[in-house]
Structure 1
Amino acid sequence: MNLEVLLPVLWQSTLETLWMVLPSALLAQVFGTLLGVVLVLTRPGQLAPLPWLNRLLGAVVNAGRSLPFIILLVLLIPLTRLITGTSIGSTAAIVPLTIAAIPFTARLVEGALLEVPWGVLEAARVAGASRRQTVFKVLLPEALPGLILGFTVMLVSLIGYSAMAGAIGGGGLGDLAIRYGYQRFETGVMIATVVVLLVLVQLVQVLGDFAARKADHR
């Protein structure tokens, strides 16, 4: 494939990858944050201890994280088809990407929230803050740098997952690499897709690190 043909195809595949990754990341962050907050609050000794619920949610999260993404892609084909009307293409790939990222994000959020000193939360409670106020005005703001770094890690992982989604017709850079770089033995296409993926990952990491530093007022 010559350069004049490759560049438009590469640009279109990059846009498809971004279309898969960005909505999936935002949805996973919303639901993963909610799940992570519940995991923290229900731990023994926390603001709303419910050990049985914590163990149940922990088991579900661990099960979700242990399932290989390529298997999840296949298992979710009926659900993907139900939600999007199709099981192939960039839009369809958003469903398995989101579901795969939620348990991963929940653990990242849990880790970031647990780094907040208990004394800070206790001081808020002594000052008369309700449980809701403690969570949204103290816990989450104090954990913001860690949450941003966790979001960055999740976003980088989703870029890798999106490339894997190309194996079952998910579109994007992964699909381009498989169809042309692998199946047609066009090494130049394979190298170009790898370079673009590396640039995307590096850009996300740099921006994430910068945002985390800005949010850290300690």
Structure 2
Amino acid sequence: MFEKYFPNVEASEIILATKETLFMTAISVVATLILGILLGMLLFLTSKGQLWQNKAINAVVAAIVNIFRSIPFLILIILLIPFTIFLVNDMLGAKAALPALIIGSAPFYARLVEIGLREIDKGVIEAARSMGATTWTIIWKVLLPEALPALISGITVTAIALVGYTAMAGVVGAGGLGNLAYLQGFQRNNNDVTLVATILILAIVFIIQFIGDIITAKIDKR
């Protein structure tokens, strides 16, 4: 039955492409989580009225975030080719896509982190400061725990965007389901391959959203 409706679909190619997509997404999500929180925290803490208020640093970080957040992903991949070759000594394959995926998504997540931190009641922060809490104590004991539901929701949205980025990266030789859909599906007019690759991408997105919703619901005490 499967071979009748999907004659051009090779199980080995689908499995390999799925593994490559999951690899790119997983590594990128972890790196984006770390870099995004650092950038978002820096944006928040150096803004007006916050613990590390510094107009110059805030302006520089904000500019970097805005620039990389605004560049279309396919253009970003092309711009980062020299940097990618320097890092991984290659411009093709799943590993070569990682720099662009991380640099493209971390600024986006950083803004979500900043938004989540700004939603924290200022009274909670002031109370911690009045009790003599250090800046690092406030970060670890107040800011991150209070913003955790927003951080999880944000990384869920970012992870879903990253799945889409991996599909776009596949068009320029990064591997994964996007690459399979483009090379084996679109270019060879094998619509069944494109359909299966699309279904698997959607399945990954739904699973990420489902897991993110469950975690957010468990930790959100509001």
Q: TM-score with structure 2 length normalisation?
A: 0.95
Residue matched to 1:128: 132
Provide Cα deviations, 1:169-190, integer angstroms capped at 9, x if missing partner: 0000000000111000011111
Q: Distance in 1 between matches of 2:171 and 2:13?
A: 18
Residue matched to 2:59: 55
Identify the match of residue 15 of structure 1 among 13, 19, 34. 19
Q: CA deviation at 1:85?
A: 1.2
Provide structure 1 residue ranges, at least 5 long, that are not aligned to the other structure. Answer: none
Q: TM-score with structure 1 length normalisation?
A: 0.97
Residue matched to 1:24: 28
Map 1:1-218 → 2, pairs under 5 A? 2=3, 5-218=9-222
2:10 partner letter: L
2:23 partner letter: W
Note the aligned Cα RMSD (angstroms): 1.3
Q: Distance in 2 between matches of 1:136 and 1:51?
A: 24
Provide Cα deviations, 1:150-205, integer angstroms capped at 9, x if missing partner: 00011000000000001110000000000111000011111111111111101100
**3-state SS of the aligned residue for 2:48?**
coil
**3-state SS of the aligned residue for 2:68?**
helix
**Sequence identity of aligned pairs in percent?**
43
2:151 partner letter: L
Q: Distance in 2 between matches of 1:8 and 1:208?
A: 30
Q: CA deviation at 1:56?
A: 1.7
Q: Distance in 1 between matches of 2:118 and 2:194?
A: 42
Provide Cα deviations, 1:105-140, integer angstroms capped at 9, x if missing partner: 110111111111100111111111111100111100
Q: Distance in 2 between matches of 1:170 and 1:126?
A: 52
Number of aligned residues: 218
